Structure 1
């Protein structure tokens, strides 16, 4: 029977088995590569496997296929036992093998031997091996490998000597075991025997033999092994060439070592360090220094490619580190946002230079730790080092971002004192800082003393005016500009778009294009925002085509703006087309938010929540806007329990503090469901004061469900916030009317007349 399981015999069944609805597809077999990840998962899958035997396929002509399939699954499940070290489950499978009569199958028995050996049950493995009625090369090699791996080299050698046919696998296993155990002479002798017997070694054999020769061989042996590796086509394997490299260095033949190193098609960290150690131990300081520079370049390469694990490994193994090496590693941690690791490394740097200080300061700035950044800046000054222009820009920008006026002004004084204010980009940075801190008078003063020859200062002040709601001043300055670039146009278009002057924004865009200025992604985001506020689908489609025809790069913000524009123009299908075409490329939450919110507003609550669940699987972190869309979706279809679950998840899982809008959604959700008591309690327990929207929501829900007491309390709070809130009086009047409290209805109407909130019957607003 075992012949049916050999690889060549399995192939004819593959096309037939692929058409079957196999009872189980979870094992690492020719039909599945999915291993259970934990013992708990494995137990569940094991139950399925046992059950699958109880449910035959049913067709008599497929019995042979079914049996072969089942045997293959037995082998695969045993592999899973081995990988998970699941000895208890492995014994259960062994019992099943005995029960079903599959213990005569050599392939299955080999798998059992391997499983017991890998689980550390060598006695059982050896006993099973002794019960084999016929031995094949696989059986011998499995047992040999088990002895070697468990450190029983004498038992392994006895078994090896009994083998009638010894192939490359057997020789390699034995040689590698001897070499790793320090029995180098025996390993070399066995290799010579292998060559006499005509067995061709592989790359692992060669690497093991070379590592053995290193301990007692000489330069002539290195040359012979090098030649043999070339003859066998094994030299280009990195393991072989690295061991040869080490051999040459041990023999002090650095010229041969460097020649081999230069010829290596692939080098790893070990290769580089073997060569560097060779130079260092030989006292060749200049060559070692040159090699340190090369190693530093490799370190930089790893950091740029975000291979920080490889970078750290190389860094730790470098016997000589210069300040450049330290700074490259520090920069790698900083760029990856690993500020604590960067700080630990920074503290260990001998002879820190201004680059070291600048890197660690920038690392803290990037994650919003301005206080720590300023402390480091002071420490740098105390160490006798002065700032450079990049550091100054980073710190001033951070002060603007956190509205740290006093600290920013001190840095401004340093800029003037050190003469950095002669740089145009620093002048514009100062204008940005004062604008961000709402000190527009100082921003204008800086603009006056700055060079007008550079457009950056003009753009900074225009951006500042727009940020502070001074659109008229921004337009006045824009019109005075001697020249305008794409940033000038983008700023003014953004100002009009944000200021709800969509038509003016679009007109400016057309003027910009007519002037020959090519818009960028930032420009198009503002244009799409203007189109979204107008709600004109034709314009949204035109903007979409313009982006494609002009090859404007689609970053995440632009994708989100396109989705939002289509959704607000009423075409959710086009919005979904944009999202689906880009969802696998985006790296931020913005496009997901636009889709979730767009679907929620259009009443597609189920799909909105499905998109949110897909977002959670990507690993991209949702934010407060995401949950606003999710809660809105729950409100639209009355999913109270789901809404409560998402609200709690937002706080406890994602650590996002709910805003007043999130609380408003929850009050609306509870109110629509008639759970007015819970809605009122939520309002009372909010960490902020409820606004007119939330009290109005509770009043509307009270009117719908006829709860006069809660409606009166909500109306009273509304009146205290806005005594002219006419909609609340209408709701209160309707609430009293539904309750039959006509006297109260008359009082509300009288109050509304007194405040001119309603017109007299029969009056019209049209003359």
Structure 2
């Protein structure tokens, strides 16, 4: 890079040099060039020129070198407001937003005056730090300084209050939003995100429908919000609408769409998305979403194919594959992936986390590998420094209970450092059902139903009834039935779904509202007959409780 020889005492040449250096800063694209320009600024005594320093700091911050920017900032005797703003903005968006507030306090005691940009960046910092009281104080200063009409300030205030969450937060955000004389797309997106963050899906949908224009962020925010809230059909409907609107589809919205596909079991849409991005470079999280989608749809071989082809993998990648195999009953394959993870973890810089071990312990439970389960449970804390959570204890109780080691499972529950929940007790109760341990089942059931709401206790009453039926204790079965009627217990019916020719069919136990219900039940009866001919006789000692709308009906209580 060429720099002309100049005499700093010559005012005309000095101004020309300042303009030259400023233009170089504007067009600079490399760190080496930036370093050379900065050196010339210092050599020629221009390090106190605020407009040049503001540009210098802006480049340094944008390129991710915040420390270098701070060092240059500290050398300035009297920073202007624009220079202060560059540093406050940089820290507000960094991993240390609290420093921007410290800088603001220093600015207050300097000769500079904060402006609308200063407050806009500060509000961003408060939102990231969840300093809502301080944010309200800033709002008061903004009003007193007559800066409340600035669209950037107001947009950040909307985001601040929306981040607070709850009814009060969204009400305050809406109040600021409604008072805005002018709104841009960022303002609308902030309000939309606020509704979704507070769980107000209806408010979010109304805001989305009222938007005068939508960009990819608007669509992505709405689709992801629907997927997270369980409105997966609506999420995919919006995704199709987004396509029809010819909005550019980015990888973030595809992650949200794949999440909805996984929840619904919509393999057709999932495959279409995979085909759409097949030859494109993909974010790690998009590949993770593909693995999760295929696993959830039962196509675990395709999930594994995507996983093996990933150029980079995160802990989430390995966990998704382990969990995917475990959920499909492929325990050996799940443990194989975990051992692979242990082997290459150092090279790829990934380590297992709490969720990884849930998948590993579930895999051990599915294949009945007790020793490996015990080994991995100990390794969690001893090797990886991960303290077992309630979910890990539940996996271990389930593993031991399925293997018939009911006493050891009960002892583990008694020694847990955290209070066991209904899922832990339920895993033990299910083991009691399998191995017909009536005494322990009765004790466990009492532990459960005394602490649970009637609706949550329903499934455990059913398990207890099955234990009694297996032991031919019909009076106790009747007692459970009477107790359920007395407490008004209703067990939610089982649900399942299947995709045929791109359409998802949802089935509920006992439901006959499907258009082809007669044909479906006829086929079920045919399958049942065929199963009996093949020697697959149902265990008629199991008590099955059908919880209907108005009564409890006990069926198949004793063998014919």
The TM-score by the shorter chain falls in which range?
Answer: 0.5 to 0.7
SS in 2 for 1:484: coil
Q: Which moved more, 1:343-352 or 1:422-431?
A: 343-352
Structure 2 Cα separation of the partners of residues 615 and 738 of structure 1? 48
Partner of 1:555: 283
| Cα deviation, residue 726, structure 1 | 1.9
Say yes or no: does 1:612 pair with 2:341.
Answer: yes
* Closer/same/farther in 2, CA of residues 573 and 484 from structure 1, 3 Å limit: same
SS in 2 for 1:696: helix
Structure 2 Cα separation of the partners of residues 332 and 634 of structure 1? 51
* Closer/same/farther in 2, CA of residues 762 and 488 from structure 1, 3 Å limit: same
| Cα deviation, residue 406, structure 1 | 1.0
Partner of 2:373: 640
SS in 1 for 2:194: helix
Partner of 1:196: none
Partner of 2:423: 693
Partner of 2:131: 404
* Closer/same/farther in 2, CA of residues 489 and 286 from structure 1, 3 Å limit: closer
| The one of 156, 162, 181 aligned to 1:429 | 156
SS in 2 for 1:760: strand
| The one of 712, 717, 728 aligned to 2:460 | 728
The 5 Å alignment of 1:221-300 reads none
Say yes or no: does 1:564 pair with 2:292.
Answer: yes
Partner of 2:324: 598
Larger RCO (alpha carbons 8 Å, 6+ apart): 2
Structure 2 Cα separation of the partners of residues 320 and 657 of structure 1? 59
Structure 2 Cα separation of the partners of residues 620 and 297 of structure 1? 39
Q: Is the 8 A contact 2:361 2:373 kept in 1?
A: no
Structure 1 Cα separation of the partners of residues 210 and 346 of structure 2? 49
Q: Is the 8 A contact 1:380 1:386 kept in 2?
A: yes
Structure 2 Cα separation of the partners of residues 510 and 589 of structure 1? 31
| Cα deviation, residue 505, structure 1 | 2.5
Structure 2 Cα separation of the partners of residues 496 and 505 of structure 1? 5
| Cα deviation, residue 448, structure 1 | 1.0
Say yes or no: does 1:579 pair with 2:307.
Answer: yes
SS in 2 for 1:721: coil
The 5 Å alignment of 1:405-420 reads 405-420=132-147
Structure 2 Cα separation of the partners of residues 555 and 303 of structure 1? 26
* Closer/same/farther in 2, CA of residues 622 and 398 from structure 1, 3 Å limit: farther
| Cα deviation, residue 680, structure 1 | 0.6
Q: Which moved more, 1:733-742 or 1:661-670?
A: 733-742
| The one of 214, 217, 238 aligned to 1:508 | 238
Structure 2 Cα separation of the partners of residues 490 and 468 of structure 1? 17
* Closer/same/farther in 2, CA of residues 666 and 338 from structure 1, 3 Å limit: farther
Q: Is the 8 A contact 1:608 1:633 kept in 2?
A: no
Say yes or no: does 1:493 pair with 2:220.
Answer: no
Partner of 1:760: 553
Q: Is the 8 A contact 1:634 1:643 kept in 2?
A: no
Structure 1 Cα separation of the partners of residues 389 and 118 of structure 2? 35
| Cα deviation, residue 706, structure 1 | 6.3
* Alignment: residue pair count: 472
In structure 2, runs of 5+ residues without a counterpart are 490-544, 546-551
Structure 1 Cα separation of the partners of residues 425 and 31 of structure 2? 54
| The one of 432, 442, 446 aligned to 1:716 | 446
Structure 2 Cα separation of the partners of residues 342 and 709 of structure 1? 71
* Closer/same/farther in 2, CA of residues 452 and 761 from structure 1, 3 Å limit: same
Say yes or no: does 1:679 pair with 2:400.
Answer: no
Partner of 1:183: none
The 5 Å alignment of 1:654-669 reads 660-669=390-399
Q: Deviations over 1:298-342 (max 9, x none)?
A: 9x877599xxxx979x98xx8788367899699869976987x98
Structure 2 Cα separation of the partners of residues 410 and 697 of structure 1? 51
SS in 2 for 1:459: helix
Partner of 1:465: 195
SS in 2 for 1:383: coil
* Closer/same/farther in 2, CA of residues 713 and 393 from structure 1, 3 Å limit: farther
* Closer/same/farther in 2, CA of residues 690 and 452 from structure 1, 3 Å limit: farther
Q: Is the 8 A contact 1:303 1:329 kept in 2?
A: no
Q: Is the 8 A contact 1:640 1:670 kept in 2?
A: no
| The one of 177, 198, 204 aligned to 1:474 | 204
Q: Which moved more, 1:632-641 or 1:705-714?
A: 705-714
Structure 2 Cα separation of the partners of residues 608 and 495 of structure 1? 32
Q: Deviations over 1:193-237 (max 9, x none)?
A: xxxxxxxxxxxxxxxxxxxxxxxxxxxxxxxxxxxxxxxxxxxxx
SS in 1 for 2:199: coil
The 5 Å alignment of 1:140-539 reads 322=47, 351=78, 357-358=84-85, 361=88, 365=92, 369=96, 371=98, 373-387=100-114, 392-438=119-165, 439-539=169-269
Structure 2 Cα separation of the partners of residues 500 and 335 of structure 1? 39
Partner of 1:222: none
Which has the greater radius of gyration? 1
Q: Is the 8 A contact 1:631 1:646 kept in 2?
A: no
| Cα deviation, residue 676, structure 1 | 1.2
Calculate the TM-score normalised by the size of structure 1.
0.51
In structure 1, runs of 5+ residues without a counterpart are 1-260, 263-271
| Cα deviation, residue 694, structure 1 | 2.6
Q: Is the 8 A contact 2:97 2:128 kept in 1?
A: no
* Closer/same/farther in 2, CA of residues 333 and 680 from structure 1, 3 Å limit: farther
SS in 2 for 1:519: coil
For the aligned residue pairs, the C-alpha RMSD in angstroms reads: 4.8
Q: Deviations over 1:587-627 (max 9, x none)?
A: x5444443333233232312331453234531146554444
| Cα deviation, residue 532, structure 1 | 1.5
Structure 2 Cα separation of the partners of residues 627 and 320 of structure 1? 60
Q: Is the 8 A contact 1:605 1:636 kept in 2?
A: no
Structure 1 Cα separation of the partners of residues 402 and 486 of structure 2? 32
Structure 2 Cα separation of the partners of residues 445 and 343 of structure 1? 37
Partner of 1:40: none
Q: Is the 8 A contact 1:427 1:446 kept in 2?
A: yes
| Cα deviation, residue 442, structure 1 | 1.3
* Closer/same/farther in 2, CA of residues 514 and 367 from structure 1, 3 Å limit: closer
